[in-house]
Amino acid sequence: MHGRVAIVAASALAILLYGCTDEADGGGMGSRDQIKVVGSSTVFPFTTVVAEQFVEQTPGVKSPVIESTGTGGGMRLFCAGIGAAHPDLEDASRRMTAAEYARCKANGVNGVIEVQVGVDGIAFAEAKNGPGLRLTVADLYRAMGAAPDGKPNSARVWHDVNPALPATPIQIYGPPATSGTRDALAALILARGCEGVHPELTALKLRDPDAFAQRCTRIREDGAYVDAGENDNLIVQKLQANPDAIGIFGYSYLEQNRDKLNGIAIDGVAPTYATIAQNRYPGSRPLYLYVKKAHLGAIRGLREYLRLYATLWNPDGPLIAKGLIASPADVRARAAAIVAGETPLDPRQLH
């Protein structure tokens, strides 16, 4: 590590808030001399790199506190209020929802700035000595879905979901329900697989999204899918211990562990920088950073930290070396303009 970035568990946050001052006590902005970030485990490595460079370039500044809570868990913390006791930034591996924005607004969090920091892929991987699986979104839906045919999933080996696959036990280590990667998995893989297997359910998706989610994106809970928590490095370790298993995490974790893991092709497309950047890989998705505009002038270094972030996401930048996939040039330019202008998002764009 080049800088000293504080990484803490939720139970320790109260200790780290020592020294923050809330000048109004009753809801005023207050101030703090340490940046606080919560959210996605996928975006976590990139935000950490920016924090390290920020500390190196800013004498006397305190290390940002970066907590990997998952996107959903982070949104709850981020939207809980304005002031020194609440986070400044949210890392997100999916876009903020309209319901989350409404929760923010109800708690006085107005002026949320949305910045796309790059692109990622939901990577499926196995150990170097794994079975060499090549899967489709339909295979994954049939293997992971709680009720792929309207009844409890009874598939035990991959051959059960597709006769062309080996009789290897279905064992999948993946993200928890609080993770943005889990949300993206549901939308990009399971929903597509379900619609491919059951085209008639496309109409249900438009008519009754909750019923569609219950049928198509609910994940089985009988042990075939294992919630591995927000520590994606733990999934890497589990795959090495169980070569028959597959893991699901952000592409950067696959890229950083190419010596240990192989990416699994989905619908004939392997997870690589090029296929994700070109949106050919089925699990491609944007990554975001959310910032409270009200905190920019009150939290020391927050504005400078955000501006530094915008200089490091280019194709030749250090975030790409860490595994981030650069957004297209027009998207990067738009994101940089949002940072420079501190422009809040328009909630009408959210769903």
Partner residues linked to 119 by β-bridges: 286, 325
pTM of the full structure: 0.83
Amino acid identity at 243: P
Per-residue pLDDT reduced to its tens digit, 63-103:
999 999 999 999 999 999 999 999 999 999 999 999 999 99
3-class state of residue 202 by DSSP: helix
DSSP three-state, residue 109: coil
The span from the CA of 228 to the CA of 226, in Å, is: 6
CA atoms within 13 A on the CB side of 185: 27
Residue 348 in 3-state DSSP?
helix
Residues in the chain: 351
The values of phi and psi at residue 68, to 5°, are -90, 100
Q: Which of 39, 38, 42, 21 is nearest to 30 (CA)?
A: 21
pLDDT digits (tens, 9 = 90+) for 217-276: 999 999 999 999 888 889 999 999 999 999 999 999 999 999 999 999 999 999 999 999
**First and final C-alpha spacing in the chain:** 38
Residue 326 has pLDDT above 60, yes or no: yes
pLDDT tens profile 16-43: 333 333 432 334 455 678 999 999 999 9
> Which residues, other chains included, contact 242 with Cβ-Cβ below 8 Å and sequence gap of 6+?
127, 171
pLDDT at 20: 38
**Cβ atoms within 10 Å of 31's Cβ, excluding its own:** 16
